[in-house]
Chain A
Amino acid sequence: MLNWLYHHVWATRLKKAVTVLVVGAALVGAALLVPQHVGGPDHCADGVERHGGECVGVNGSGYDFGTAEITAVSGAIAEENRRIDGEPHVTVAMMLPLTPESRAERRQLRSDVQGAYLAQYRANRAEQKPLIRLVLANPGRNYGQQARVVDDLAALADDEKHNLRAVTGFNLSLRATIDAVDRLTNELRLPVLISRASADELANAERRGVRPRFRGLARVIPTNRQQAAALAAFHRGLRDDETVLVRDTRPDDVYVESLARAFSRDEPGPPGAKDQEFTSPSISEPGETGNDFSLIGHNICQSRAKVVYFAGRPVHLRLFALKLAEVPCRGKRYTVVSGSGAATLEQYMSDADWARLQGEPGAKEPTVTVEYTAPGHPEAWARTRAGKGADRPAHLTEPQEELARLRALTDRQGAGDIGPVTYDDSRTMLVHDGVRTIAQALFLANARAPGAVPPRERVAAQWPRLESAHRVAGTSGWVCLTNAGNPYDKPVAVVELDPRTRKLAFKGLGWPEGRPQPRDCVVPSN
């Protein structure tokens, strides 16, 4: 055997040369390929390693985590980070799953990251110290590997060069998200600002003398309960038998749970149909829910309900709306009301879907209109009529101006090439406002101890200051934080998905407290 091998690979100069080349090529190939597929943690990028088939970790040097949509904006972040690298700075981490599977989700992700970047860009040019370095943290699909990333963030917080001082992001209200926030706030004492997750479980209760659930947590998005309250306020006057609640019972989805709880409040009048429940397989899979929805549709048809509260994720909302439209019900028309998560609904809709929602072509009104609260809407300020000129209240004019400035920046690509920017889904606005809020807190913390990097507790201690004089004029409305870190009476946009125009139609502002924010956004005592 050995002699055979020798004769075939080593007997002449030519064979030696070919053998050396082949073996060399094989070694190089192995060196390139094997580490990616074999063995322990594989390197994806600086600070990012492969675990369980995903690249998880923290990176601020332009790595796009394999998502092409955010290549441009992560590059821009890296550029900005490089620019401030020599100067004293603190780090803000943007933590959210960075490798979504569907195209729609990837676009949403782009909006999120763009918002963060735009806020960083503007904050670093606002003559305010400290400068902000932005890093992207990928906790894996559905925050599955958040523990690993939280470890990384803890190390980054202790790093005297980078000084992680706040974590934002958090776009999904999941159990793992709560665990992450819990550990970041209560264990690591890192200030956390939630800009996108609306579950009530991710908020501190507004009660005096009680230890907050999450220490140092702030939010810029109203909770589901607040949104539902705003919706209810908007739909003031509906009787109980005119509404019915359809809810997803899939466990561990706090968004759905909190939405269902908000919609379950008592309404005047005779009782309506009981809650209609279904169980979906996951956030983004429809599973067998289509059949359930058909049956639920029949039941609703039999009831007097015209307004259907839907406590579920957008994928299922779309399917439910379509099934409801299909169920023949004597020309009955429905309004399906859902939470802010439905803001992404439009991205799941196809032409055929629109036609089905429309019902009979040429009908004056569509069979099903979907109405939900969006945490922001770009047209909200311009289309809300209240006073004229100097009489127009500041809670409208200040956000309007702020939004205009942001738009001006992106329209002229002043912050570099970050990919196409859309404001309609409100993500860019919300995340931008979140990072603006962080920047403001950092500035306040820094102002009191110039020349040094503010410690984490000081930053967290600034959250309650951000009201009244230190209110943050966000593009999605004033951010005035309560002592529990929640935005006080932050307006939500009630929008309607109109099958005829196939656009989100802004219907009006809903105020969780039932009335607009007070003048100068002074948070009243309870």
Chain B
Amino acid sequence: MSDDLGTGKLLADDGLLARLLGKTAKGRNRPLLYGPDLPVVLLTGGPGMGKGRLLRRVRDDFGRYVPAAHVDCAAPVFRERAGQRPATRSAATEALRELAVQFGAWSGDGGAIGAPRLYAGLVAVAAGDPLASPAEGLDEVRRHDVLLPRGTFWGGVLHRAFRAYLAALGALLVAQPLATPMITAILDELFERTSAEGRAALEACYGAYSGAAGHPRLGLHALSVDFQQGGEARANAESFLFRALREDVEAAYTSVRGRLARAGRPAVLLDHADGALGRGLVRSVLLDREGGHHDRVVVVATARRADGGRFLYRSADGSGDAPAAWSPGDGGLPAWRRRPGGVPGLAAPARGVLLVRMPTLTAEQQNHELARLQGHGRDEGHQPGEHAARLRVESAVHRLSGGRPRFVTRLGEAAAALRVADPAAFTDWTLLDVPVRSRSAPDAPPRPVAELLLDDLVVRQLPEELPPEQHGHWLDLLSHLSVAHDGDCAQELLRVRQGGRDERLSAYRVAELLLDAGWPYCERHFIGDRGLRHLLMRRLYGMEARGTGLRADQELLRDCFARRAATAAAPEERADALFGTAAAHAAHHGLAAGDTEGAVDRLTRSFPARDTSRSMADWCAELLAVAWSPGRAPLTGARGARRARALGETPACGDDVLRRRVDRLLHAVWLYEDRSGPVDPAVTGTWRQLLDRLGDEPVPGIEVLTRTAGEWAERARERQPLLPCACTRHLG
């Protein structure tokens, strides 16, 4: 079984990538999709969706047959190198240089792709620092010697002669300073030693630089000056350098030799392109193509935000410029075409983007991956009960991962290391506790898989705009927020938990940052990804002994909303968007903190027979709102004890029949909604009986109880949550 983790459709012989690149992963030619105007393909998906992995597969598989340059824009190496000589380097120039080196190392059909235009630009930039000593400047220029094309582009003259000249110049400069600026001398020499062909190429390229008016020397000068100037001007210069590289690649394909000996399209693969460096590069391509500078370079970049990133849009844009979005699950190939019209320079860059949503794994794919990681298929024989345990593990992985490939892989590794002694006692959190070794540090002691996942998904992928002073605090913040539901709730938590800090983040800002980091939004949970929420909640639980941290947060929220319910004067102030009333919200958190009695009391009190102002439908909604609270032993008692309460085996104390019935019903629903284990049919079977019993008393709205019993039974059959939301949709 291949480990393509759901990307098979993208990589298939007639998939999007094969058609874009004109070659299959096995080297067969395919008709080219689109062209001459190409979209920038943005692979979108949150952390752990396999974007980087897909890019590496493209580089490894397709890169054997078409030139594919791969750059990780988040790699610190570019920033470090740029930091050594900030006047003449930037992360962008370093990344471009890396791309050019990779193209120059291509040894497949058609041979190496030289980058003379980019070389000229980089040399101009390198020689542009007016403050550098001549020797330093020359070193900086000589640094780009690796980019000098080996072929005949320079008429065979420049290659050695230029290097020799530079060496001689260096010797001279050490002795006495130059009369003219370094850049003038270098450009003089460059143009003097360029062949006619090379001169024409430079003229076509740098003659188009703003202010060059067709003179490549002026263009290179201006480029160098712009780079020195920094800011917007430097961004322009960097953008132009990328254009030069793409023109180099294009020229390698349009030459006679290129037409004969090359096939398919070259690729530039930009991983983590939602950072500043990647955004700049992608933006450069988008603007050039919007302006009619087409080239055949297939740019594939990754972005975490579902919409590809805010830089693609203009604030004033209507929905007319929304990018084309497609997912492999949609089938076929995306029908991208640049919409006609649009004013160059004013149209949103998103017009040139094709968003490809990374696919989540189907249950079947997850099981395959689990089987692969557990080494099933090895004929070792099966222990009794192993099959039951495997089913429990598989369903746990389905619930926690939600199809996120990284989750599946990590949990699969955990499952492989796990021996389930008692399947009945197995919960999702059991799996999260399994210690595994990190693949990046195989010598380190094993850590619980949940911690590794948090490292992978959160710590290593901090939102770009997160203030540095919050970096160390970020995971803790999110852990606290795992119990929050909406911004209101979260804000309350943050206010208390950041009490001692000068720099504070608002909950709404955190929500934005989470979206930027690619995490989904859920209307009922502040942390919109079920798996991540469980990781964080588990972390919160472990932050202080025996779950006191988690309990404290739940109690904080309970108290907060109980106070709000008590102090509110008007009914609308008591209302709560998610829970109906602030009191229900408080009861929900109370239940999570282990205060079952309070919750039962609240529900008994508000039952329409006791509180005639309430309708039966409202009460049922409130029951659900309270009951979908997370349950976690020992905060809320063991599952077995809750089950006994739900089945009436250990009835609640007290004489109030209604209260006892409500208690059973609450436990039954709570147990069902707490999906950290498999659904117990015995529990769901009690609902109808319990709801019918509630109608024993003369109370209006009995038909609502019957109808509700029917609806719940329907959902229980499909194992769907009774209160669906975005992050629990995959359950069942």
Binding site for B on A (CB under 8 A): 3, 6-7, 10-15, 17
Contacts and interface: CB of A to CB of B under 8 A. Distances in A.
Contacts of B262: 12
Contacts of A7: 27, 65
Contacts of A6: 27-28
A12 B27 contact: no
B27 A13 contact: no
A11 B23 CA distance: 9
A7 B66 CA distance: 11
A130 B23 CA distance: 77
A15 B260 CA distance: 8
A13 B26 contact: no
Given A3-B26, A6-B28, A13 B259 contact: yes
A8 to B, nearest CB: 9
B26 A12 contact: no
A214 to B, nearest CB: 74
Contact of A13 (B23, B28, B65, B261): B261
B110 interface: yes
B205 interface: no
B14 to A, nearest CB: 16
B650 to A, nearest CB: 67
A339 to B, nearest CB: 76
B121 to A, nearest CB: 30
Contact of A3 (B28, B261, B263): B28
B26 A11 contact: no
A289 to B, nearest CB: 70
A11 B260 contact: no
A11 B27 contact: yes
3 nearest interchain CB pairs?
A14-B260, A7-B27, A3-B26
B109 interface: yes
Nearest to A17: B260
Contacts of B260: 12-14, 17
B29 interface: yes
Contacts of A17: 260
B30 to A, nearest CB: 12
Contacts of B259: 13
A12 B28 contact: no
Nearest to A8: B27
A14 B255 CA distance: 13
Contacts of A15: 109, 261
Contacts of B261: 12-15
Interface in B241-279: 259-263
A480 B59 CA distance: 100
Interface residues of B, number: 13
Nearest to A7: B27
Nearest to B263: A12
Nearest to A18: B260
A17 to B, nearest CB: 7
A517 to B, nearest CB: 86
Interface string B17-47: 0000001001111000000000000000000
The interface centre, meaning the residue of A3, A10, A11 with most chain B CB atoms within 10 A of its CB, is A11
Contacts of B27: 3, 6-7, 11
Given A3-B27, A7-B65, 17 more contacts: A3-B26, A3-B28, A10-B29, A11-B23, A11-B27, A11-B109, A11-B263, A12-B109, A12-B260, A12-B261, A12-B263, A13-B259, A13-B263, A14-B260, A14-B261, A15-B261, A17-B260
B261 to A, nearest CB: 4
Most buried by B among A6, A10, A12, A17: A12
Nearest to A3: B26
A513 to B, nearest CB: 89
Contacts of B263: 11-13
B66 to A, nearest CB: 10
B412 to A, nearest CB: 31
B12 to A, nearest CB: 15
23 contacts: A3-B26, A3-B27, A3-B28, A6-B27, A6-B28, A7-B27, A7-B65, A11-B23, A11-B27, A11-B109, A11-B263, A12-B110, A12-B260, A12-B261, A12-B262, A13-B259, A13-B260, A13-B261, A13-B263, A14-B260, A14-B261, A15-B109, A17-B260
Nearest to A13: B260
Contacts of B29: 10-11
A15 B109 CA distance: 9
A6 B109 CA distance: 12
Interface in B185-216: none
Contacts of B28: 3, 6
A136 B624 CA distance: 114
A11 to B, nearest CB: 6
A12 B265 CA distance: 12
Contacts of B23: 11
A286 B503 CA distance: 119
Contacts of A13: 259-261, 263
A364 B10 CA distance: 109
Interface string B669-694: 00000000000000000000000000
A5 to B, nearest CB: 10
B723 to A, nearest CB: 53
A209 B602 CA distance: 151
Contacts of A12: 109-110, 260-263
Nearest to B64: A7
Interface string B119-161: 0000000000000000000000000000000000000000000
A73 B263 CA distance: 62
A446 to B, nearest CB: 73
A10 B23 CA distance: 12
A309 B119 CA distance: 101
Contacts of A11: 23, 27, 29, 65, 109, 263
A448 B28 CA distance: 83
> Which of the listed residues B65, B262, B263 has the most CB atoms from chain A within 10 Å of its own CB?
B263
A17 B260 CA distance: 9
A6 B24 CA distance: 12
A14 B26 CA distance: 19
A403 B120 CA distance: 96
A108 B26 CA distance: 69
Nearest to B23: A11
A355 B260 CA distance: 75
A6 B29 CA distance: 9
Contacts of A3: 26-28
Nearest to B110: A12
A7 B263 CA distance: 11
A7 B109 CA distance: 9
A18 B81 CA distance: 45
Counting chain A CB atoms within 10 Å of each CB, which of B65, B260, B262 scores highest? B260
Nearest to B66: A11
A378 B625 CA distance: 138
Nearest to B24: A3
B18 to A, nearest CB: 13
Interface in B34-82: 65
A315 B300 CA distance: 89
Interface in B624-651: none
A11 B261 CA distance: 9
A274 to B, nearest CB: 88
Nearest to B257: A14
Contacts of B65: 7, 11
B576 to A, nearest CB: 62
A13 B264 CA distance: 11
A14 B259 CA distance: 8
A7 B262 CA distance: 12
B667 to A, nearest CB: 62
A17 B29 CA distance: 15
B71 to A, nearest CB: 26
Nearest to A4: B27
A3 B25 CA distance: 10
B62 to A, nearest CB: 13
Contacts of B110: 12
Nearest to B259: A13
Nearest to B25: A3
